[in-house]
């Protein structure tokens, strides 16, 4: 029997992406206080961020294939139920070890980041899918920008547990919305796992899939490297206060939000590849300009963070279109492709973030960070050019066969 495909309201998909993004960083201002409360070193509590990111990558790898088999709706509802229970566990935890265990279980909400993209791909094709993904991921741009501000205010007023209480309440609200609105969009009951495994070599051999995947991973890698190095650069290079660094941190989110809007507005008109190419060019040009200015001896935070806003704009054009491109290779494996792409982006980003943190030392300036970001942006540009070259070759071959 064919399962009815009932498209959810875009607001539901935005909420699912948003609650996943919020759980990652809303409590960051509370980390020092949490370390004091649990009487552990700050490095121990920092595991609630780094270990969570690692668990999210693994869960995206698993969640994609499961959603292709079991359906989008049950995976989302189960993930939110586990997330709510794990959040209660973090609230009741009386030692750091117990807290970190429940915090890792909270990472199951990462599937709410990949499933909305797969849902859109179930309902739409090609450029239209990328356009919708652009609108859906706008929530992922806004939430990281405002969540730490809200988290800091809650911590000051009620303590760090207020942040996790808010996570639980939002998880419950989004779960109710998904229960009421998220109909199943997978065709014919889903694709059996055995058949998925048989189809994996087709996905793995696809130049288009890996080209789109590398474009997304390396483009987002610029942002993750920035996260790892920007606090150091802000304090040691530009002499900014923590509050000033926080204000400047909004730069990539503003750019990304704008890029997402432009993707939603223009992808259907100009196509996936042109939007990705434009985004990669903007990202690379912005970062190359910032590096050139710094090498010339001009040290200006507005130029540096202005270039970061340009990078965010480029990423906002690249990410929804690259994700749609990955899922278009094998539409029946949309969840798998979304999960694999998301996992690689997070893993690659974590690596670049760690590399930026390791290379930035007192006296090094911002040059190591900008070099890493420029190389990552250049790699993303090379990846989409690889896709365009491959598609041009296939077009010429098809034309010759038709003659």
Q: Cα separation of 72 and 87, whole Å? A: 22
Two structure tokens written together for 117: 């993209």
* DSSP letters for 51-99: HHHHHHHHHHHHHHHHHHHH-HHHHHHHHHHHHHHHHHHHHH--SHHHH
CA distances in angstroms from 84 to 21, 25, 162, 171, listed in the order given: 15, 17, 14, 6
Q: Cα separation of 149 and 99, whole Å? A: 23
Using the predicted structure, report yes or no on whether residue 5 has a pLDDT greater than 60.
no
Compute the average pLDDT of residues 344-358: 76
Can you give the pLDDT at residue 197? Answer: 63
Q: Cα separation of 218 and 386, whole Å? A: 14
Q: Cα separation of 154 and 306, whole Å? A: 30
Using the predicted structure, report yes or no on whether residue 357 has a pLDDT greater than 80.
no
Compute the average pLDDT of residues 298-306: 90
Q: How many Cβ atoms from other residues are within 10 Å of residue 264's Cβ? A: 21
Q: Cα separation of 334 and 63, whole Å? A: 11
Two structure tokens written together for 301: 């935070």
216, 283 in Cβ contact below 8 A? no
Two structure tokens written together for 219: 């483009």
Using the predicted structure, report yes or no on whether residue 86 has a pLDDT greater than 80.
yes
Can you give the pLDDT at residue 43? Answer: 72
Two structure tokens written together for 152: 């800091």
Q: Which of 29-33, 353-357, 369-373, 384-388 has the lowest mean pLDDT?
A: 353-357
Query: Mind listing the pLDDT tens digit for each residue in 317-341?
Result: 998 889 888 877 777 676 677 777 7
In the three-class reduction of DSSP (H, G, I as helix; E, B as strand; rest coil), residue 230 is classed as helix
Q: Identify the band that residue 2 occupies on the pLDDT scale cut at 50, 70 and 90.
A: very low
Can you give the pLDDT at residue 317? Answer: 93
Query: Mind listing the pLDDT tens digit for each residue in 33-83?
Result: 888 899 988 778 878 877 887 788 788 778 877 887 788 899 999 999 999
Using the predicted structure, report yes or no on whether residue 373 has a pLDDT greater than 60.
yes
Can you give the pLDDT at residue 92? Answer: 96
What's the fold here for domain 7-182? Growth Hormone; Chain: A; (1.20.1250)
Fold match between 7-182 and 199-403? yes
Most confident of 107-111, 236-240, 394-398: 107-111
Using the predicted structure, report yes or no on whether residue 274 has a pLDDT greater than 80.
yes
Phi-psi group of 182: left, alpha or beta (phi > 0 → left; psi -120 to 50 → alpha; rest → beta): beta
Higher-confidence residue of 269 and 201: namely 269
Query: Mind listing the pLDDT tens digit for each residue in 217-265?
Result: 999 889 878 876 777 788 778 887 766 766 777 788 788 888 988 988 8
Q: What CATH code is assigned to 199-403? A: 1.20.1250.20
Can you give the pLDDT at residue 1? Answer: 37
Domains in the chain: boundaries: 7-182, 199-403
Using the predicted structure, report yes or no on whether residue 349 has a pLDDT greater than 90.
no
User: What pTM did the predictor assign?
Assistant: 0.72
CA nearest neighbour of 263 among 281, 243, 252, 278? 278
Half-sphere exposure of 27 (CA within 13 A, CB side): 28
* DSSP letters for 234-288: HHHTS---HHHHHHHTHHHHHHHHHHHHHHHHHHHHH-HHHHHHHHHHHHHHHHH
Most confident of 44-48, 304-308, 339-343, 350-354: 304-308
Using the predicted structure, report yes or no on whether residue 200 has a pLDDT greater than 70.
no
Using the predicted structure, report yes or no on whether residue 386 has a pLDDT greater than 60.
yes
Most confident of 5-14, 192-201, 322-331, 370-379: 370-379
Residue in this structure with the two tokens 């869960």, named with its chain if needed: 59
DSSP 28: G
In terms of C-beta distances under 8 Å and separation of at least 24 residues, what long-range contacts does 295-299 make, across chains too? 295/367, 299/237, 299/238
Can you give the pLDDT at residue 138? Answer: 67
Q: Identify the band that residue 192 occupies on the pLDDT scale cut at 50, 70 and 90.
A: low
* DSSP letters for 117-183: HHHHHHH--HHHHHHHHHHHTHHHHHHHHHHHHHHHHHHHHH-THHHHHHHHHHHHHHHHHHHHH--
Can you give the pLDDT at residue 198? Answer: 64
Can you give the pLDDT at residue 144? Answer: 66
Mean pLDDT of the chain: 83
CA nearest neighbour of 226 among 251, 193, 205? 251
Query: Mind listing the pLDDT tens digit for each residue in 149-159?
Result: 788 888 888 88
Higher-confidence residue of 108 and 135: namely 108
């Amino acid at each position: 029997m064919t399962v009815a495909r009932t498209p959810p309201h875009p607001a539901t998909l935005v909420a699912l992406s948003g609650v996943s993004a919020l759980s990652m960083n809303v409590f960051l201002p509370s980390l020092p206080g949490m370390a004091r409360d649990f009487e552990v070193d700050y490095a121990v509590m920092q595991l609630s961020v780094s270990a969570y990111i690692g668990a999210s990558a693994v869960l995206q790898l698993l969640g994609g294939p499961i959603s292709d088999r079991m359906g989008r709706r049950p995976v989302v509802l189960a993930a939110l139920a586990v997330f709510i229970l794990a959040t209660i566990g973090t609230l009741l935890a009386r030692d750091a070890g117990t807290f970190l265990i429940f915090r890792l279980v909270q990472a199951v909400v990462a599937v709410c980041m990949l499933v909305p993209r797969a849902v859109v791909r179930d309902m739409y094709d090609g450029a239209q899918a990328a356009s919708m993904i652009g609108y859906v991921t706008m929530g992922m741009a806004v939430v990281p920008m405002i969540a730490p501000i809200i988290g800091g205010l809650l911590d000051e007023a009620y303590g760090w547990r207020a942040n996790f209480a808010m996570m639980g309440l939002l998880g419950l609200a989004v779960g109710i919305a998904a229960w009421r609105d998220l109909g199943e969009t997978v065709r014919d009951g889903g694709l059996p796992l055995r058949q998925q495994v048989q189809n994996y070599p087709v996905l793995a051999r696809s130049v288009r899939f890996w080209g789109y995947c590398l474009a997304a991973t390396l483009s987002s890698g610029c942002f993750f490297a920035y996260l790892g190095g920007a606090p150091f650069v802000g304090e040691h290079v530009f002499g900014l206060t923590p509050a000033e660094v926080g204000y400047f941190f909004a730069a990539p989110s503003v750019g990304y939000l704008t890029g997402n809007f432009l993707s939603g507005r223009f992808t259907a008109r100009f196509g996936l590849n042109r939007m990705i190419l434009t985004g990669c060019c903007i990202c690379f040009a912005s970062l190359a300009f910032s590096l050139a200015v710094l090498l010339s001896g001009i040290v200006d935070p507005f130029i540096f963070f202005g270039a970061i806003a340009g990078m965010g704009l480029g990423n906002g054009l690249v990410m929804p279109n690259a994700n749609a491109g990955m899922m278009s290779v094998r539409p029946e494996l949309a969840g798998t492709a979304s999960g694999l792409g998301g996992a690689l982006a997070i893993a690659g980003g974590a690596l670049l973030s760690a590399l930026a943190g390791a290379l930035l030392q007192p006296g090094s300036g911002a040059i190591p960070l900008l070099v890493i970001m420029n190389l990552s942006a250049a790699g993303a540009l090379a990846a989409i050019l690889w896709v365009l070259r491959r598609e041009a070759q296939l077009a010429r071959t098809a034309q010759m066969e038709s003659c």
